[in-house]
Amino acid sequence: MKFNRGRCRSRDLKKAACNGDYRLHERPNDVLVNILETVETRSIKTAAGNAEDRLSELPDDLLLNILDRVGTLDAIRTCILSKRLQKLPTMLSQIVIDLSPRDLFEMDGVVAEVTDRILSTRSPQITVRKLKLKFFLVPSRCLSIGKSVGLAMVTQKLDAAEFEIMTRKDFSHCTDANRLLYAEKFNDFVRDCPDAFAGLTRLHLRNMRFAKSEISNILSHCKRLEFLSFFEVDEGVRSVLHVEHTQLVELVIIFGKFETVELACLPKLQRMSYRDWQYDDNPLVLGFVPQLSKLSLACPYLSGKTLNLSKLLANSPNVSDLYLEFRSEKIWIQPECPNVLAPVLAKLRFVNLDHLREECDISWTLFLLEAAPYLEELCITVWDHKCRIESQKSVSKKTDVKWEPSDPHFKQKNLARLTIYGFQSDDNFIGYIRRVIQAAVNIREVSLHSRKVCPLCFEKFPQVALRPSGYPRTSKELDLLRERMTAASATASPVIHFRSLG
């Protein structure tokens, strides 16, 4: 019976591949690995019984399609089982080695060895559509990887190449001396492997402190770079990062001691994410970024200063997607009147306001609705994430944001969807939703979710689990709430969903 199932599966795979109706893109990666390993294991067993090797019936393009999406190391492990498969790793169009930090420690030299073996033995006629390597900043192995990739850049067709460079010490154990040393090693890596960095399209760095202007120097070597991510990377305490690049499309900065990040000239930048800046004076300056459409900012409230969106976005009127996260702290943006704010929010379509504290009156968020006439979706998450360190230090300093609309009867014609996480059946939420429905005359849907849950919060603060919930449960409660929310609107009649009902 096992033999027959193996034969049927092999035959079905081949038939489906020929017919073009085998939907590999819908299969999870672990299923695809299992398909190969199962077919091959059964083939070995049947070979022992003098039966033909079922894998010989599968076309190379089908096998490569599967192998390309299961990770390079999994593909190699599978191909070792059969002579028939051993040539396939050098034919892969995607080379992805993305191990967890623990696995990287255990397989320290594997990334460099496998990269060199595959790139040095493959045909230059086969395009590498994607090369992604995660590895530790160890000079000898970095040099091996850099030389292999650099040679491939020159002699082969390589569409996209990505380096994610890890450090032996994670950020919580890194000293300033460690960060300076890591930056020095990385500079040596760039200097020794110029061809690799000249063709790199994505780069992730962490735990490095460079000297002044060294980051600009690195960017000048990475001429094709489209994505750059910094985690705990800077040029010293209160340093100013000046960024210019002709190809960069996305920039992510998390932590670091920059006083100001100045995006001076990035003509192709579309997405920018800045999280956990340390100084509130002037954390982000948007210069020439004409294509910037998605901006994500996340930080706890560290001082008495607030950001004015009208000033921040003065040179970026094309932002359509805005994400602001407050870490359950005080609000660090200043509500502004629509006449001042409307010119920079003319193209805003999506707004996500995350981690507003639970005691906060959320009506201040209406200033965005009033100032953004083409806003289509508004999402608000109200949540006291108590395991955040900042929340424990500054809980006594929290105050509400005071704001009143310039026109209490303003109308907004394009908002179609309002989503709230952390909804409670109190006047704060009910009054807010009623005002939104009254203003957004064409709103179609309101989705209301209960509080989000963090297991770590429950573990560290058991009292969190004991808080009473004001989320409605009975049909009578739901009907009453719907009636109260829509009573003030003469035109809009959205569908109101209570998404957290069991």
| Distance (Å, whole) CA 402 – CA 362 | 10
| Distance (Å, whole) CA 412 – CA 101 | 49
pLDDT at position 396 is 39
Using DSSP's 3-state secondary structure scheme, residue 112 falls into helix
Buried b / exposed e along 323-337 (16+ C-beta atoms within 10 A) = bbbbbbbbbbbbbbe
| Distance (Å, whole) CA 180 – CA 262 | 22
| Distance (Å, whole) CA 152 – CA 116 | 10
Q: Do the strands 227-234 and 202-209 form a parallel or antiparallel pair, or are they unpaired?
A: parallel
CA 449 vs CA 83, 130, 219, 382, 455: distances in Å: 55, 39, 44, 10, 18
CA atoms within 13 A on the CB side of 85: 26
Indicate the residue type of 391: S
| Distance (Å, whole) CA 122 – CA 115 | 11
| Radius of gyration of the chain measured on its C-alpha atoms | 27
| Distance (Å, whole) CA 470 – CA 451 | 10
Using DSSP's 3-state secondary structure scheme, residue 244 falls into strand
Residues whose CB is less than 8 angstroms from the CB of residue 254 and which lie 6 or more positions away in sequence, other chains included: 229, 230, 231, 232, 273, 275, 276
Indicate the residue type of 305: K
Q: Extract the tokens encoding 258.
A: 């920059």
Q: CB count, 10 Å around CB of 457? A: 20
For tokens 């033909």, the residue is 52
pLDDT at position 67 is 80
pLDDT at position 42 is 44
Q: Extract the tokens encoding 488.
A: 């003030």
| Distance (Å, whole) CA 64 – CA 128 | 13
| Distance (Å, whole) CA 500 – CA 178 | 47
| Distance (Å, whole) CA 233 – CA 412 | 42
pLDDT along the chain (502 residues), means of 10: 44 43 46 46 40 57 80 81 78 91 88 93 91 96 97 94 96 95 98 97 98 97 98 97 98 96 98 93 94 95 80 95 91 90 96 91 93 97 72 50 77 97 95 94 96 75 70 93 88 90 66
Asked if 211 contacts 241 with a C-beta cutoff of 8 angstroms, the reply is no
Measure the N-to-C terminal CA separation of the chain; round to a whole number of Å. 44
pLDDT at position 303 is 67
Of 494, 394, 492, give the one whose Cα is nearest residue 438: 492
CA 311 vs CA 49, 191, 238, 340, 368: distances in Å: 76, 39, 21, 10, 15
Residues whose CB is less than 8 angstroms from the CB of residue 488 and which lie 6 or more positions away in sequence, other chains included: 434, 435, 437, 438
pLDDT at position 386 is 66
Using DSSP's 3-state secondary structure scheme, residue 130 falls into strand
Q: pTM of the predicted model, to two decimals?
A: 0.86
Asked if 377 contacts 349 with a C-beta cutoff of 8 angstroms, the reply is yes
